[in-house]
Amino acid sequence: MRKRAHRGLERGFALLIATVLSSIALAVGLAVTDVVYRQVVLSSAAKQSQYAFYAADSALECALYFDQQEGTFAYQASPPEDVSISCAASGGAVPVSFVVSEPSADTLRFSSDWFSASAPPACARLTVLKESTGAADIFAEGANTCDLSSTRAIERGVRVNY
């Protein structure tokens, strides 16, 4: 008879162990899911950052070509009001207009608005500083999207001096 009394005290013990183990398994599963989600977000941000960099790099190469091969951004004593070039993108040639601003005795600044570059959603903007000595400073900014008010917008910049 003692065995029956002792067995009555062990009732529900298996249920308690099963509940504890299930809770631990659920906690581990949620922790792994959280880590995986964060990794997916980070890899997506890295991918979008590459799009922004590629857009900036494409715009920079275009400006370098037009400056070195065509002399488009040559320093002039009486600068033009605007300058246009045509950069190749995945959808064909993209016209890029520059406004000449802040002319001084020895420096000209050519600035463009955002334009579509490289991958379809990416945009770029160029600033070219040209000195009377022939030295140049070209700064290209790239963005993964043309909607810069988006919370997912990422910008990257590339600068070259020569």
* 42-68: pLDDT as tens digits: 888 888 899 899 889 988 998 998 888
Q: pLDDT, tens digit, for every residue of 120-129? A: 678 899 999 9
Q: How confident is the model at residue 3 (pLDDT cuts 50, 70, 90)?
A: low
Strands (E), 34-106: 82-89, 92-101
Mean pLDDT value of segment 139-147: 90
Q: Is the model's pTM score more than 0.75?
A: no
pLDDT of 1 above 50: no
What is the band of 83 on the pLDDT scale with cuts at 50, 70, 90? Answer: confident
Give the amino acid at 95. P
pLDDT of residue 13: 80
Report d(CA 133, CA 136) in Å as an integer. 9
Contact present, 84 and 19 (Cβ < 8 Å):
no
160 phi/psi in degrees, rounded to 5: -135, 140
Mean pLDDT of the chain: 84
The alpha carbon of residue 47 and the mean position of all alpha carbons in its chain are separated, in whole angstroms, by: 8
